[in-house]
Structure 1
Amino acid sequence: MIDTKAIEEFLYDRELRVKYQENLIKQYENKTLVTVRINYPGVEKSNYITDDIVNIIYEEINTYYRKYIVYDRKYKNKEGIIGHFLFNIDFITVKRIMIEIEESHILGRCVDIDVYTYKDGEVIGISRSDLYKKSRKCFICDLEAKICSRAQSHTIEEIKKYFEEMYKLYKKKDHEAEQLSYGISQLALKAMISEVSTHPSFGLVSPVSNGSHKDMDYYTFLDSAVAIAPFIKTMAKIGYTYHKPILIFESIRKVGIQCEKGMFEATNNINTHKGMIFLMGICASAVAKVLYEEKSFDDIKDTIKEMVVNILDDFKNIHLKNNLTHGEKLYLNYGFTGIRGEVKNGLELVFDKILKEYENTTVKRNSFYTQILIHLMSEVEDSTIVYRKDIDTLRWVQNSAKELLLIGGVNTTEGQIKIKELEDEYIKNNISPGGCADLLAVSIFLMEIKDKYYN
């Protein structure tokens, strides 16, 4: 028996939704409207699976394209969950983005993502054919979806089964992503704790010394690292995706800001790991992306480069800014690109020298990490040293580290004596190689990643 009341209510809500879309795009001129709905037959479109599917796709768009969204709203009517977005980029680009989601996301075929623009006084929808794209295929067979829909070629039960299977597959993959991102975050946490546990460490905080720092100690770093780890997990999960690396980076930057707040709350406003958050977040999400695509360990380097291809744009027009960051001041004064420059090059020093040179070491871990730190100090343009002291001190640190490597570093008695002398001198003169510390943690992290996922 046909439920005419249900049909009338459905049609009424659809009409309201269309009017809302028209008013929305007229109100926000020169914007592109996106509407997300469930692609489900009949008038009974809302159940726990279909509602969750729309919510998942809605969050997918919000996560990876937040930078371009000026308005978003989600609500429920007789059509099920409805999501609206207004983008500040052209409708052709937006349509391509939405087609990619429909074709690449596990649940992409379960939703309709419509794109509209306002032109010559009317709302115009953009279709796949406008971009010379093939029509969407049917869920069940290989024919065009609109052909099967018109002919009602498949039963409601067949379609329901498809939705249930896709939803189960998504949940399985999402669980795998959760487990993987948690594992990555735990290796990041281990690496951060290993870095601060390294001693001697040339003015850095360690379990036996506050080094050159008066406002923090070993336990401050432990509190900070534990606070950071859940955000690293979030960034890793964002990286486990079909989306392009540059979109991953734009997405994790928002998480990084939240992570910094969590760090400051845990440390009573002491900056223990601000640079580490930036660096480790990029590395964790790049690792996840490479694992998602089942690529090799060496592909992590190129993925980082793709993620941060525009990173030096941060320095554009900084001469016009009133309040400069630590890094911006050093860029203006010395041309230092700091950690941005390191990631711009895909962490070449770490991948091409540190990881390769120390891959088969037999040195015990604490001494091993000290030796890596010395190597990093000999080459890194450490902005922390310059900020705390000056450019001449940086050159002295680099030259001293090179001399230390020449006499064997931790591997010789002469080197061990020199390390102790330098450690005391660094503390006395308030020198702290903070940038090298961050790269030491990342080096440890990547070694752990390689050992766990690639051996």
Structure 2
Amino acid sequence: MRTSRALASPAPSPQEIGRAATLALHDELALSPKPGLVTLTDRGSHADMDAHTFMRSLFALRSYFVRIAELGAAQAPFEALEACGIAAEARMLAATQGINTHRGAIFMLGLLCASAGSLAARGLRPTVDGLRHTLTQRWGEALARRALRPSALPGGQAASRLGLRSASAEAALAFPTLFETAVPALRAARSRGLASGPARLDTLFATMAVLDDCNLAHRGGLAGLRFAQGCARDFIAAGGAGRPDGLAAAAALGAEFVARNLSPGGAADTLAAACWLDRLG
């Protein structure tokens, strides 16, 4: 008798969901080269942080991702998720002496973990359709209201000033860039036979090419954002990380990003989210 998928692959526990989030953030950190971003050996465009800062943050956030998955499983209201995220941000800042390493990931991956927890409580594994439906049905109205709030954060203020789609607006739309660009890009790269590193690098560039990355807009204005998007499109069009000089080309772009003080933090958070879903299978 054929074993059903549900029996062969049970829904993940909150602990498994949270562990996948922590590991996915490490996947993003360990990827190198990444233009303007912190890696295990490079500060990118950030004078105030390095890999040690990120690792302290990761350790401080481990329990958060489990807890918010548990809240999702309990069908908690958005206010409970938001309070959990605010507390996690405080722990991050305490661990990093006030440096923002993972504020965007706390928001994005936290919501995704909550959605996965909600699905798992019903015996379902996280899928693109399931996660998007859960975000919209359970917390969509609250996320839409949140997206209308004036932002106190530099990236949100840059998005408002320049007419860009903010991180809050992405969440209210159930993360279209993640699910319509990053996840397909990672799967396509894997299907072409690329190893994990080059596949993730192609995913990062595919995301950079289309995302209204508020961190880029804050650091470099609209011109900086468009420069980064153009570089990403050109990188992918030239063959991406799979071509013989792909890694060297990415490293050369890194020098240009540092010279312009650019860092695609929103794309990095989206890559981590794609790695999270990939780890949960």
> So what's the TM-score if we normalise by structure 1?
0.55
Percentage of identical aligned residues: 25
Matched, 1:267 2:96: yes
Distance in structure 2 (CA, Å) of the matches to 1:317 and 1:230: 28
| Structure of larger gyration radius | 1
Matched, 1:314 2:146: yes
Pairing partner for 2:108 from 279, 285, 294: 279
Deviation at 1:384, TM superposition (A): 0.1
Deviation at 1:315, TM superposition (A): 5.2
Provide the aligned C-alpha RMSD in A: 2.1
After alignment, is 228-237 or 287-296 more displaced?
287-296
Distance in structure 2 (CA, Å) of the matches to 1:255 and 1:398: 33
Conserved 8 A contact 1:407-1:414:
no
Distance in structure 2 (CA, Å) of the matches to 1:317 and 1:444: 29
Pairing partner for 2:64 from 231, 245, 266: 231
Aligned residue pairs, count: 266
Residue 197 of structure 1 corresponds to which residue in structure 2?
30
Higher relative contact order (CA 8 A, sep 6+): 2
Deviation at 1:325, TM superposition (A): 2.5
Distance in structure 2 (CA, Å) of the matches to 1:190 and 1:376: 20
Deviation at 1:335, TM superposition (A): 2.4
> So what's the TM-score if we normalise by structure 2?
0.88
Matched, 1:401 2:232: yes
Structure-to-structure mapping, 1:215-364, within 5 angstroms: 215-241=48-74, 243=75, 247-295=76-124, 297=127, 298-306=129-137, 307-314=139-146, 316=148, 318=150, 324-359=152-187, 360-361=190-191, 362-364=193-195
Relative to 1, partners in 2 of residues 1:371 and 1:316: Cα closer, same or farther, differing over 3 Å? closer
Conserved 8 A contact 2:29-2:38:
yes
Structure 1, unmatched stretches of 5+, are 1-175
Deviation at 1:434, TM superposition (A): 0.4
Structure 2, unmatched stretches of 5+, are 1-9
Relative to 1, partners in 2 of residues 1:331 and 1:433: Cα closer, same or farther, differing over 3 Å? closer
Residue 432 of structure 1 corresponds to which residue in structure 2?
263
Structure-to-structure mapping, 1:10-409, within 5 angstroms: 180-241=13-74, 243=75, 247-295=76-124, 297=127, 298-306=129-137, 307-314=139-146, 316=148, 318=150, 324-359=152-187, 360-361=190-191, 362-409=193-240
Relative to 1, partners in 2 of residues 1:439 and 1:421: Cα closer, same or farther, differing over 3 Å? same
Relative to 1, partners in 2 of residues 1:181 and 1:214: Cα closer, same or farther, differing over 3 Å? same
1:279-306 alpha-carbon deviations (Å, 9 max, x no partner): 1110001011112123462211111223
Conserved 8 A contact 1:249-1:308:
no
> Which structure has the highest helix share of the two?
2
Distance in structure 1 (CA, Å) of the matches to 2:159 and 2:141: 18
Relative to 1, partners in 2 of residues 1:328 and 1:194: Cα closer, same or farther, differing over 3 Å? closer
